[in-house]
Structure formats: structure tokens, C-alpha cells
Amino acid sequence: MRTKLLLGAAVIALAACDSDPGPLQRGANPQMPEPERGLLPNMTIPRPVGWGNEVPTVPAGYTIRAIATDLRIPRQTLLLPNDDILVAEGTGGSAPVLRPKDFIAGIIKSWGKTSVAPGHRLTLLRDADGDGTYETRNVFAENLNAPYGLALVGNALFVANQDALVRFDYAEGQTQASGPPTTVAALPSVINHHWTKALTASADGRFLYVGIGSNSNITERGMEAEEDRAMIWQIDVETGAHRPYASGLRNPTALTIQPGTGQLWAVVNERDEIGPNIAPDYLTSVREGGFYGWPYAYWGQNVDPRAQPQDPERVAATIRPDYALGAHVAALGVDFSEPAMGPDFAEGAFVGEHGSWNRTPPSGYRVVFVPFRDGRPAGEPVDFVTGFLNSEGNARGRPVGVTVDPRGALIVADDLSNTVWRITRNQAQSADAGAAGQGAAAQTR
């Protein structure tokens, strides 16, 4: 009875907050509105409805098709040297509830998630004849612990579980791991409020970078719970030795290396419960030794008074991120483009936006392209994959990881419909299909 009363009060409170907050603040110089506080955050949970006979919307001149369905919560993908695709499947986290509103929010957020049990595995997809149909699918490795980040360095395949970075031996073309993984380094996993462990390798293969999210929204569990959290680790590939590379990043959910520069970039999920338009999730280059504000400040040196005790010196040292994606879009994927993606999308980064749970109208639920010029973000983000919300505001899918295939394709993991999508340029696809003696694939599931 108490649970029903709490949920009933929550619904009333949430309905009272249902107003249009105006446009998202995006780009290099967003305006920061005044913070807003309330009993409960504004929660809008699009209910899962599936794709049916529909597919996501892509720009004219591009085609999208599902290359794998009925997966078990696909999160991130990795393109292997022979063009096989590895898919990390699973979910994690074990954070106990602190406040009644956390309990309510947890129930309501669960309404927008898949009911499929997590796979805790890696699945391999293979298109043997290059026609765009991945006719081979098998489990590469299983019994993992919420695998998320993936990276290949030479003959070593690295997987970031929620509690450890592990390594498999890999030989090009193999379809199944030859044995259990070895542990490279333990990762912070107590509580695991933010459980995802993003991963990428340096351009020279010497180091791995692991994103480790905070154990709270804004230190409500105490600063002791944040030891080694809200930061990016640098891990030596040979020895497993690690050190903090950058800090103050509330939840760095995806990492990538910029081609030609070797520069590390990240997408970061910012804090909640101060309004529908702050603080913006962001895309940023990551400086070695840099501090990016959490918990004391957001978007540069905007002070968050909820973080106690305050630390003016840390606020003064805060680096402002490069590019705002908008508040609560929940960016979970990032990868730099290639010229083969076409002239309009040749220079920049694709970002998978999983979608908000605490904004009306919802934000995210799409893949955007952030254009770059001279190596830096320049201009408004461009919608690249949309249609994840239907006209009634229900969710057909939710994008997570994005991976660019240099041949001219974008791979998108969708963890609500449990699908992996592949988007290609029609011209490039026709050329590939012609070489294989086939016509271009139709835009069908």
C-alpha cells in the first residue's frame, strides 16, 4: 500500500511539472539558465513499443537495415580487422536506494527499459561475402560481468567489464574465444551507481583509457564513495599499471581517439535535478591532468551549491568542455567519421544519444553528427538517425554505441529493441553490391 501511495504522489507531482522547457542548449557556447529545484525531477518515460515494420529515419541518400535482432541488450560494438563486428551485451549496477524519490524514480525509469535478460557476453557478426547481410552470428565469449567497452590492440582483445578490464587472445578471423580472459586491472565497482566502463586504446597501442562514472548524482553518498570515480584512467597495456588521466567527469560513457591527432575525446553525462536545460551533457577533448568540474561546478565554472563542502580552488581550475549536446540526452556512444561517409558527414563525430528520463519533452533518442572544422567542433549538430520515438511519444528503440566502418557505414547498437543497425551511403552501397554481383539493399528490416 505504501508503494502505491508513493507512486501515486509521484505521478501527481510529475504531472504538475509537465511544461515545455524550451529548446536544448547545444554547441560551443550554450547559455546556462538558472537552476531549478523541486521535490522530484520532471520524469517522462517513453514506453517501449518496438519497431514493427518500421525502421529508423536516415538522411536522403542513405539506407538503414537491421543486421542483428533479438540480441540481449547490445551496448557497444567493435569493428575487427576482417570487418567482423563484436557486440557487447549486458547491463550492470548495484547501487542501493538512498531516498524515497530514488525508489520511485527507479521504478518509473524501469518502464522505459527492455524486459530481455542481459546477455553478459560478446556476440560476433560476420558478413562473409560483403553484401551487407551478416549471415553468421555466434557467441564469441560469455559469462562476462556487464561488458561494455571494447578495444583491440594487436592480437589482444580488451573488454571493460563493470568490475575489471580483461584480455582475450585474438587471431584474425576466429569466431570464438580460445579460452577464458585474463584480468589486466581491477576497476572500481563498489556500489556502481554508474556501472558502464568506457574503453579505447591510444593511437600507438601503448595505453588503454577507461571511463569510470561517479557513484552518485551529486555526492549524496559522501565523497568517500567517489574515490577513483568520475574520472578517466590510463592503463599501461603491458603491465596493467594505471593512473588517473583526467578527473571531474561525472560519467564518461564513451571514449574515442581523433584520427590524425591521437587526441582523446569523450562524451560525458552530466548531473540531474537542477532543471530540464542544465547541466548539458557534452562532447569534449580530454586534457591529461585536466579537471572538468564534477561535483563542484558544471559547464566550466558554474558553481553547484549542492556539493559540500565547496571547493573554490577546484572550481577555478575547471576546464569548460568543447561542445554541449543538450541536457539529459544521455550520450552513450561516440566515434569519428571517415570521408567514405559522404561529403556532408566527412569531418566530425557521430554521437549516440540514448535519451532522457527527466525532461519534457524528452531529449536525445537519436544519433547526431557534430561537424568539425580544423579539428574542432563547428556548427549545430545534425540529426543522422532519428525515429526512435513515435508520434505518440513512445520508444521504438534507444541508441547506444556508434562505430564508423571506414568503408562507409555507421554501426548503431539499439538496447531497447535489441538490434544492431547499419547505415550506408547509397552510392557506396551500390558499388559494394555491384562488386558482389548484387543490387543495392532496400531500406527494410
Residue 438 in this model has a pLDDT that exceeds 70: no
- 311 within a domain of the structure (yes/no): yes
Task: Answer whether residue 230 is part of any domain.
Answer: yes
Q: Write the Ramachandran bin of 98: left for phi over 0, alpha for psi from -120 to 50, otherwise beta.
A: alpha
Q: What is the pLDDT of residue 44?
A: 82
Mean pLDDT within 399-407: 98
Q: Quote the number of domains for the chain.
A: 1
Task: Give the Cα separation of 350 and 358 in Å (integer).
Answer: 23
Specify if 390 maps to a domain.
Answer: yes
Q: Band of the pLDDT at 23, cuts 50, 70, 90? A: confident
DSSP tag of 428: H
Mean pLDDT of 57-78: 98
> Residue 356's domain is classified under what CATH number?
2.120.10.30
Q: Tell me the pLDDT of the chain averaged across its residues.
A: 90
Q: In what order do the strands lie in the sheet with 242-247?
A: 197-201, 207-212, 231-236, 242-247
E strand spans, 72-135:
74-79, 85-89, 121-126
- What's the pLDDT score for residue 106? 72
Instruction: Output the pLDDT for position 37.
Output: 82
Helices (H), 49-152: 100-110
pLDDT tens digits, one per residue of 304-323: 999 999 999 999 999 999 99
In a domain, 39, yes or no: no
Domain annotation covers residue 46: no
User: What was the pLDDT predicted at 417?
Assistant: 98
CA atoms of 252 and 230, how far apart (whole Å) = 7
- 309 lies in which domain range? 51-435
Provide the whole-model pTM.
Answer: 0.92
Q: Is residue 334 part of a domain?
A: yes
Residue 383 maps to a domain = yes
Q: Distance between CA 48 and CA 231 in Å, rounded?
A: 32
Q: How far apart are CA 419 and CA 69, in angstroms?
A: 4
The number of helix segments (H) and strand segments (E) in the chain equals 4, 27
Dig out the grid coordinates for 430 from the structure.
551500390
Q: 101 pLDDT band (50/70/90 cuts)? A: low
Is the residue at 441 inside a domain?
Answer: no
Helix locations, 84-172, DSSP H:
100-110
